[in-house]
Amino acid sequence: MYKNKFFNKDILSANQFTKQDIEHVFRVASEMEKITNSHGHIDILKGKMMTALFYEPSSRTYSSFVTAIQRLGGGFVPIHGTANSSVSKGETLADTIRTFSKHADLIVMRHPKKGAAKIAAHYSDKPIINAGDGIGEHP
């Protein structure tokens, strides 16, 4: 039996995954796809909130995370770019992450700076998923 070592943990790098981990992710994804295809959505994440914190444009990655959380019964807070956020007034990444970790159960972040997800994980008491950090990772 597979023990999920990623529950409530940050996912910052593809190097965190073993072959067994990747096989497990694909098995669970396949199960969830079958269930949501036959029922439309399920409520296993009911009451859970994801902040989609995207400092850069993204269509495929962003829509994949948003679709997944909604099909599993959760909600999300969409943050696109920095023009309409406190970042435009000089708010640091650390302060942004501290704030959003109070509102969400999970933060999915795309940022132009390599290593930004690791910095975010340092300041968050909620899991961070790296959805791309510049020329760094895109696990």
Sign, CA dihedral 24-122-110-64, equals: positive
pTM (2 d.p.): 0.90
Does residue 78 sit within a domain?
yes
What type of residue sits at position 46? K
Task: pLDDT band for 139, please (50, 70, 90 cuts).
Answer: low
Does residue 33 sit within a domain?
yes
Residue 81: domain span: 14-133
Does residue 5 sit within a domain?
no
Does residue 67 contact residue 77 with C-beta atoms inside 8 Å?
Answer: no
Does residue 1 sit within a domain?
no
pLDDT one-digit tens code per residue, 76-135: 999 887 766 676 677 789 999 999 999 999 999 999 999 999 999 999 999 999 999 988
Does residue 18 sit within a domain?
yes
Does residue 120 sit within a domain?
yes
Does residue 6 sit within a domain?
no
How many domains would you assign to the chain? 1
Does residue 55 sit within a domain?
yes
Task: pLDDT band for 34, please (50, 70, 90 cuts).
Answer: very high
- Per-residue pLDDT, 73: 95
Domain of residue 91, CATH code: 3.40.50.1370
Average pLDDT of the segment spanning 55-73? 93
